[in-house]
């Protein structure tokens, strides 16, 4: 027996794209054959799924797509007060695949059939073959292996009368056998199977909470995200490497990085601003994937390496960040241009991007907030009262129609300022993001230091968008409508 891989996913793949395992077996032509895929939490005995897969017509391969299963194992990591580094435990998952097989327990016999001679079953058919059967077993016999004409009296369901070493006797008269040299196969009548698990193991595989576009996934290469080369990438679709992304001082951002487990030397995130000063923060997270705060409002406490001042000074126009290991660059540089077109009130939306990191967009244009009220109404009997003349009457302020389960829903229309083409394309991920949070920032005494309120969960109502490109539209603006995710309850 042998099971071998035809195709397997890469070691690290996005959970929301297809994750196909394809295997072949030398036993694929046996009766009742199926592949068994056992999926485990990596390095443990915790089984999260079992698949029994019929061979694919034409090839005989066993194929299984684990994307739906593994999507349920990942979510996201977000700590809105974090300004350093954290283990992105929920953003990725490590799993093992064990491949086995099952098939009908089949005994092939090639010896000539003979008559059993010991009473009380003398005259019955004796089949000389090594077997696992015991007296009383119900078995099914198929004759004519290889297409040879069969004995009608030896086809179908039988009972094992005698189970000896190297032979069995069945309840069929030998006198009905017309061709004793014909071969045959024996299976249990109840379809009992031989099951062999863990024939082939595919261990230490990872998925992360991401989804590559359909046209990009065929060119996906996990090595580009392993942070082993100076041009590797973070697990984000933020296009900051194109140098055309702008953020205001109130915006937050967290990027996920493949740290490959515990850093052997202190890994660092290096920040360099337009003034030429260099800063760093130590990446202390020890999980396979870590989250790192990098936004203008949440880059946190940095250590000055060279130059002077702070990362963002009044005359700073941009800063870049990249990943270092042993002081050697292990990622490309991502740029954030500082957008100082701020007003006294600024709205922003934090969102989960397609690769599992947290990006944000500022809406410095006009904002319009409106509310709607929902209620359930029912009529009830007006009890009234008996007056002094023994007549039933009621007061005019008695209430018959009642309103209950009253709640208010707030919707907000937001508008961006002018943006670059890269920002416009990244904006489309905000529209379709499954997790979004809304924040209002005020600039009161110091226009360089935002005074921000707490984030509020929200849902994007806007369901259509234009993918603007500057060759078609020189000045790009975007608008969205959001709804706060929780209604306000009224004391009805």
310-348 pLDDT, tens per residue?
999 999 999 999 999 888 999 999 999 998 876 667 889
Return the number of other C-beta atoms located less than 10 Å from residue 303's C-beta. Answer: 11
Averaged pLDDT of the chain: 89
Domain shared by 131 and 32, yes or no: no
Number of domains making up the chain: 4
Domain shared by 121 and 178, yes or no: yes
Range of the domain at 251: 218-338
248-286 pLDDT, tens per residue?
998 999 999 997 655 556 789 999 999 999 999 998 878
**Would 230 be classed as within a structural domain?**
yes
Judge contact between 280 and 268, C-beta under 8 A: yes
Three-state SS at 416: coil
Number of H helices, E strands in the chain: 2, 36
Half-sphere exposure of residue 273: CA atoms within 13 angstroms, side-chain side: 23
**Would 356 be classed as within a structural domain?**
yes
Judge contact between 303 and 281, C-beta under 8 A: yes
Residues in contact with 81: Cβ distance below 8 Å, sequence separation at least 6, in sequence order: none
* Residue 151, pLDDT score: 81
Domain shared by 98 and 114, yes or no: no
Domain shared by 259 and 371, yes or no: no
* Residue 421, pLDDT score: 84
CA pair distance 300, 293, nearest whole angstrom = 7
Cα–chain center distance at 355? 11
Which of 113-122, 211-220, 378-387 shows the lowest mean pLDDT across its residues? 378-387
> What stretches of 114-191 adopt beta strand conformation (E)?
114-115, 124-128, 138-143, 156-164, 167-173, 184-188
**Would 226 be classed as within a structural domain?**
yes
Query: If you average pLDDT over residues 149-175, what whole number do you get?
Result: 91
348-380 pLDDT, tens per residue?
999 999 999 999 999 888 888 888 888 888 898
Per-residue burial over 379-393, b if 16 or more Cβ lie within 10 Å, else e, is eeeeeeeeeeeeeee
State yes or no: pLDDT of 148 exceeds 60.
no
Domain shared by 480 and 389, yes or no: yes
* Residue 18, pLDDT score: 97
Judge contact between 485 and 459, C-beta under 8 A: yes
Q: Which two tokens stand for residue 267?
A: 């890994």
Picking from 338, 362, 397, the residue at the C-terminal end of a domain is: 338
Domain shared by 317 and 374, yes or no: no
Domain shared by 321 and 228, yes or no: yes
Picking from 296, 323, 338, the residue at the C-terminal end of a domain is: 338
Judge contact between 137 and 165, C-beta under 8 A: no
Quickly state the pLDDT bin for 446 (edges 50, 70, 90): low
**Would 86 be classed as within a structural domain?**
no
User: What pTM did the predictor assign?
Assistant: 0.84
* Residue 8, pLDDT score: 97
Domain shared by 370 and 478, yes or no: yes
* Residue 180, pLDDT score: 92
Domain shared by 153 and 279, yes or no: no
CA pair distance 479, 476, nearest whole angstrom = 10
Residues in contact with 448: Cβ distance below 8 Å, sequence separation at least 6, in sequence order: 249, 312, 314
Which of 9-13, 46-50, 204-208, 337-341 shows the lowest mean pLDDT across its residues? 337-341
Which of 111-120, 123-132, 266-275, 380-389 shows the lowest mean pLDDT across its residues? 380-389
* Residue 418, pLDDT score: 83
Domain shared by 302 and 320, yes or no: yes
Domain shared by 485 and 359, yes or no: yes
State yes or no: pLDDT of 160 exceeds 60.
yes
Quickly state the pLDDT bin for 471 (edges 50, 70, 90): low
């Amino acid at each position: 027996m042998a099971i071998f891989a035809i195709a397997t996913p890469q070691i690290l793949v996005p959970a929301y794209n297809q994750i196909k395992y394809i295997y072949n077996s030398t036993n694929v032509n046996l009766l009742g054959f199926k592949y068994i895929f056992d999926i485990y939490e990596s390095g443990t005995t915790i089984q999260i799924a079992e698949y029994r897969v019929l061979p694919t017509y034409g090839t005989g391969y066993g194929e299984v797509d684990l994307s739906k299963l593994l999507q349920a194992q990942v979510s996201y990591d977000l700590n809105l007060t974090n300004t350093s580094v954290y283990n992105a435990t929920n953003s990725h998952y490590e799993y093992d695949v064990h491949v086995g097989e099952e098939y009908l327990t089949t005994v092939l016999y090639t010896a000539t059939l003979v008559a059993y001679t010991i009473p009380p079953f003398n005259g019955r058919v004796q089949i000389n073959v090594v077997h696992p059967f015991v007296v009383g077993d119900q078995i099914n016999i198929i004759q004519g292996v290889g297409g040879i004409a069969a004995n009608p009296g030896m086809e179908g369901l039988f009972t094992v009368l005698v189970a000896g070493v190297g032979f069995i006797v069945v309840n069929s008269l030998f006198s009905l056998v017309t061709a004793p040299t014909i071969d045959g196969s024996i299976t249990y009548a109840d379809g009992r199977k031989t099951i062999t698990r863990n024939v082939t193991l595919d261990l230490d595989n990872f998925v992360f909470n991401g989804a590559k576009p359909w046209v990009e996934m065929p060119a996906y290469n996990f090595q580009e995200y392993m942070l082993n080369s100076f041009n590797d990438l973070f697990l984000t679709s933020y296009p900051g490497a194109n140098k055309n992304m702008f953020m205001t001082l109130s915006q937050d951002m967290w990027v996920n990085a493949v740290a490959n487990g515990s850093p052997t030397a202190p890994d660092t995130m290096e920040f360099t601003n337009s003034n030429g000063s260099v800063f760093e923060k130590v990446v202390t997270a020890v999980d396979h994937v870590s989250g790192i705060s990098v936004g203008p409002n949440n880059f946190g406490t940095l250590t000055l390496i060279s130059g002077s001042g702070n990362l963002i000074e009044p005359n700073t126009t941009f800063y870049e960040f990249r990943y270092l290991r042993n002081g050697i660059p292990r990622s490309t540089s991502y740029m954030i241009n500082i957008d100082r077109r701020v007003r006294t009130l600024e709205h922003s939306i934090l969102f989960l991007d397609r690769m599992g990191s947290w990006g944000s967009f500022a809406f410095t244009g006009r904002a319009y907030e409106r509310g709607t009220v929902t209620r359930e109404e029912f009529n009830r009997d007006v009890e009234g009262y008996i007056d002094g003349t023994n007549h039933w009457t009621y007061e005019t302020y008695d209430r018959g129609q009642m309103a209950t389960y009253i709640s208010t829903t707030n919707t907000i229309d937001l508008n961006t300022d002018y943006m670059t083409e890269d920002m416009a394309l990244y904006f489309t991920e905000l529209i379709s993001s499954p997790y979004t949070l809304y924040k209002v920032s005020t600039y009161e005494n110091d226009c360089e230091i935002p005074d921000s309120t707490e984030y509020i969960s929200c849902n994007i109502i806007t369901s259509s968008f234009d993918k603007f490109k500057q060759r078609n539209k020189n000045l790009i603006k975007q608008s969205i409508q959001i709804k706060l995710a929780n209604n306000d309850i009224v004391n009805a």
